[in-house]
Amino acid sequence: MVNKESLNKCIFGKKDLSPETTKDLILDAARKYFCDKGYEGASIRDICEEAHANVSAIKYHFGGKEGLYRECFKIYGESRLQSASKILTKANSAEELKLRLKLFCEDFINEGLANMHTTKMICREIETENPLIDDIFQETFLKVYSTLLILFEDAQKNNLIRKDVDPSVSTSILFNSLTTALRFDHVGSKYFNKTLRDPIYAKTFINNMLAILFDGLKIQE
């Protein structure tokens, strides 16, 4: 994300932008246009105009429109996988498992909201099974899902959760709940005055969701 104060100084002070700043500006503009108009509908000229960049910068930094589109997903996917890999490590108790899942949910929601254009793009491309990003999806986003699954599988082997519950079902319930909550947050905001952008509601949502999940997963006494 580009620092707006520094950007204003560069643009209005007639100072040349660095290559990295130009690259970041193009990515920010690309996420907006690709989200709103899709890959085919987004115009390279519009993206460059928004980014105050020359059209040739697209080829220089990304190799073309397809490369720019893929980079939007790659950057976010790699950051999500790196974060998940740090948070979703082996839990030694049910309390630790719940804490790690809570941290994962908080990170998932906060980053999803901060990168809403990319979040919407991901949902759309998963549904359409776009071959342009299939390899990136498998190497990043799918591995985030797999990391969560491994955590549940390990917890089951160590008697932290019930043996009769399929870990893949638990993973799907949690992952899909987070994704759906992000995707339709605007609906809750518009009609029910509840949004994940409200820290209090976000905390309630995560705590309630995990409470419901763990009431079903915990070993019956």
pLDDT of residue 18: 83
Residues 6+ apart with CB under 8 A from 116: 35, 182
Tell me the per-residue pLDDT of 129-170, one tens digit each, with 9 for 90 and over: 888 999 999 999 999 999 999 999 999 999 999 999 999 999
Gap between the Cα atoms of 173 and 177, Å rounded: 6
Q: What is the pTM of this model?
A: 0.88
Tell me the per-residue pLDDT of 101-127, one tens digit each, with 9 for 90 and over: 999 999 999 999 999 999 999 989 888
Q: How is residue 91 annotated by DSSP?
A: P
Assess whether 126 and 176 both reside in one domain: yes
Assess whether 24 and 44 both reside in one domain: yes
Q: Where in the sequence is the domain holding 198, given as residue range(s)?
A: 72-217
pLDDT of residue 2: 53
Assess whether 24 and 120 both reside in one domain: no
pLDDT of residue 11: 45
Q: Regarding predicted confidence, which is higher, 1 or 190?
A: 190
Gap between the Cα atoms of 200 and 211, Å rounded: 16
Assess whether 202 and 99 both reside in one domain: yes
CB count in 10 Å sphere of residue 35? 18
Read off the CATH number of the domain in which 97 is found. Answer: 1.10.357.10
Assess whether 94 and 23 both reside in one domain: no
CA 73 from centre of chain: 9
CA 7 from centre of chain: 26
pLDDT of residue 128: 85
pLDDT of residue 9: 44
SS (HEC) of 190-216 = HHHCCCCCCHHHHHHHHHHHHHHHHHH
Q: Tell me which amino acid residue 93 is.
A: S
pLDDT of residue 3: 52
Assess whether 8 and 105 both reside in one domain: no
pLDDT of residue 10: 46
Gap between the Cα atoms of 205 and 182, Å rounded: 12
Assess whether 83 and 144 both reside in one domain: yes
Assess whether 50 and 97 both reside in one domain: no
Pick the closest to residue 118 from 78, 88, 146, 85 (CA basis).
78
Read off the CATH number of the domain in which 24 is found. Answer: 1.10.10.60
Assess whether 47 and 77 both reside in one domain: no
Assess whether 104 and 8 both reside in one domain: no
Question: What is the mean predicted confidence (pLDDT) over 204-211?
Answer: 96
Residue 211 pLDDT > 50: yes
CA 1 from centre of chain: 15
Tell me the per-residue pLDDT of 64-84, one tens digit each, with 9 for 90 and over: 999 999 999 999 999 999 999
